[in-house]
A and B are shown apart, each in its own frame.
Chain A
């Protein structure tokens, strides 16, 4: 087509990006100019240059035969990818509710003062950029920030001053301050208990028929640990039986639900267990390729995890003829995300892995039938795959003896917020909220957020409820909220803003209603709410459940579950003398036009 040629000729002499990125061609070559690897290409360019410039976009577009805007379509979706420079040092400070509870505001102020620019901008010399970011999986050691992919935890005023000084002196990120991400495993259960020889679990699985491996998992009654609780064996059977050129096993390590960090701990402490689980899953569904979709926030683990994978290859547990089994070839690669909560939804994850915007797909078809690159794909949670390896090692019967009848096995819980011992606790299903509060040393508890913002905010009268699929189902996050907190302002508003920020923007109710919810909530917090406002927010739930994916369907949960369980907090803020409060401020509304016309408005007493 003519316009395509003219488009190309305009920058055909411009193959090198004008910023510091000199390796664009090498990056593109590394991924064979493959548009389905666009995420990898963009992430590498971002890592090297601190942004993906307009020129880089054009070069990439030409190489992968996309239009420039099509590259921007993907690029602009992800929080950690930027079209404008983010500074030599890009500081991403977590702004989740628990970070705020642990003193983020003070830390942000120190950053701004020391750097000399506001959050959301880059210092004048282009050296340091300050940005907010959603939960980075460090809730047990907040406030924390990511600077050039390295994580800095438990920030204090002194630490921040030292960090900024280091950045101004051009220090290597490694040398800014001593920092360590703590694993904080405070209670080990069957999954976290170390086994000496995981290779045995893999060997045992591949000595069996794949169908028998699936049967063993079925006998264990294992259900998905991401939150939805779909039976793992059933997912695998659907996937195995689906026709395709190739089958894929994905591990969903995009744990973005604020307050969840147990996958980070598994990946740090027990990566061999996870990779063994992926290998077994691959064998069961008939796949030779496993992909670990890892959230960008965990980029600091890349080298470590690649090292673990290399070692497994050396030991013959990955690669050709795995564990000496002729004909079973299986390997694992890491696919990074770019910063988007929605990519934890399995079909959005697959879109992202294909180099596209992380927008959930319409179902059917389900990923087990048409998943990654339209091939049958099983997507499993990190913890689920770890359980798989343990079940192969110790048997379904052993696993079934743990937990409850409907929820077998154990659950890793990430506990954070107002408690003495935040960290990861592995408990058998059936533990009550009270049991956990006792373990973590939580006193004077006002509320517990179970399962993150998309879950349920419960009051003390429900603390005797059990963590189980049949009672309180959870993906693994528990945020303890003390009596001293302003629940609506500190927690519910923060969570609602989180959903606005993280919506993919596709479905109308998720994109637009979340904003209306926030406005209504702020109106009530300001003391301008009327009784009807609460009823309206409840009535809108029907519209929210009509969204396509789990994010959209649960985006109003912070408000809905607190109206249900803490209605008095809303009611005490209502304006009870009237059934209508006009939020309209005439003076503010005419300010801009008055300024333009250089007039002082005469609003008088009655300005109807």
Chain B
């Protein structure tokens, strides 16, 4: 298939038609922050963090396929402000106590908050009353920390299998739920996969939360997105 031209932040890039803007940007060393996106599973654009100006409109880079002569802005002041506000909204909406969380240091939400230099959200905390579901022998689900990105719902072992994780209710009452009968015999591998899929500390493997000590975790030394940006600097 013939390549197309796409303009990102004022520079032309050649790309495969139909490839998502997010992926094209990444290939070219341009980091667009994401939360609900997870490589290898179908994107759905629900966190809105990757919102870019695409042909003049606010669209999510993870769900917008590239077309010829598309013009994309990824990092204007306005867009960065939107992203920072969304991060703040998530902190205010849930109960995120980083110092006590097993995922501190490898949490994507926390890493983005650092990236946007958030000290405290501009919004008053809601302090919702949420449950901790520890019924499964291998994993626990802490609804306090869940950012409702649906990554766990969308990542299934096989498409024909019944769904393990689901969304329940709607609006600000929405929460993930899990079919305990189906995950009753989760092995370590599946439990690890479930935990890895979660961007925050909402799905945690029991007895494994501190296997990697705080201080040597993924974002403890390098900020989120720096791998892509470094690659961009060498291109």
Which residues does A use to contact B, with CB under 8 Å?
1-4, 6-7, 10, 61, 65-70, 72-73, 76-77, 340, 342, 357, 362, 364, 500-509, 511-516, 519, 536, 540, 542-543, 545-548, 583
Contacts of B234 in A (CB 8 A): none
Q: How many A-B residue pairs have CB under 8 A?
A: 147
Beyond contacts A67-B182, A70-B162, A509-B85: 14 other A-B pairs, Cβ-Cβ < 8 A, are: A66-B162, A67-B179, A73-B168, A362-B60, A505-B167, A506-B44, A508-B90, A511-B93, A512-B90, A512-B92, A515-B126, A542-B81, A543-B89, A583-B124
With the chains together, A53 CA to B87 CA distance in Å?
38
What chain A residues lie within 8 Å of B46 (beta carbons)?
506-508, 548
**Interface residues in B58-102 (C-beta closer than 8 Å to A):** 58, 60, 63-65, 78, 81-82, 85-86, 89-90, 92-93
Judge if B169 is at the interface, Cβ distance under 8 Å.
yes
Residue B5 is within 8 A (CB to CB) of chain A in the complex: no
Chain A minimum-CB-distance residue to B90:
A508
Tell me the residues in window 107-153 of chain B with beta carbons closer than 8 Å to chain A beta carbons: 122-124, 126, 147-148, 150
Cβ B85 vs Cβ A540 within 8 A: yes
**CA–CA, A506 and B46, complex, Å:** 6
Residues of chain A within 8 A of B178, CB atoms compared: 69
Option from A4, A66, A362, A513 in Cβ contact (under 8 Å) with B45: A362
A357 to B170: give the CA distance in the assembly, Å: 9
Find out whether the CB atom of A508 lies under 8 angstroms from the CB atom of B47: yes
Of all chain B residues, the one with the shortest Cβ separation from A358 is B170
Check B89–A509 contact: CB distance below 8 A.
yes
* B residues near A1, Cβ cutoff 8 Å: 161
Decide if B174 touches A505 in the complex (CB within 8 Å).
yes
Which residues of chain A are near B161, meaning CB under 8 Å?
1, 4
Q: Which of A68, A70, A77 contacts B170 (CB 8 A)?
A: A77
Does the CB pair B58–A4 fall under 8 Å? Answer: no
Chain A: CB-nearest residue to B175: A505
B14 at the interface (CB under 8 A from A): no
Give B residues with C-beta under 8 Å from A.
43-49, 51, 58, 60, 63-65, 78, 81-82, 85-86, 89-90, 92-93, 122-124, 126, 147-148, 150, 161-174, 177-179, 181-185
**B44 pairs with A362, CB closer than 8 A:** yes
Given known contacts A66-B162, A512-B92, is B51 in contact with A546 (CB within 8 Å)?
yes
**CA–CA, A70 to B166, complex, Å?**
6
* Min CB gap B172→A, angstroms: 5
Q: Which residue of B lies closest to A362 (CB)?
A: B63
A240 to B184, CA, bound (A): 48
Taking a contact as CB atoms closer than 8 A, the residue among A69, A73, A516 that contacts B123 in the complex is A516
Some 5 contacts from A to B, beta carbons below 8 A apart, are A73-B163, A504-B170, A508-B89, A536-B122, A546-B48
Query: What's the nearest-Cβ distance from chain A to residue B82, in Å?
Result: 5
The residues of B that contact A546 with a CB separation of less than 8 Å are 48, 51, 58, 82
Given the complex of chains A and B, what is the CA–CA distance between A504 and B183 in angstroms?
26
Q: A69 near B163 (CB under 8 angstroms)?
A: yes
**Contact call A3/B48, Cβ cutoff below 8 A:** no
Contact assessment for A503 and B163 in the assembled complex, using a CB-CB cutoff below 8 Å: no
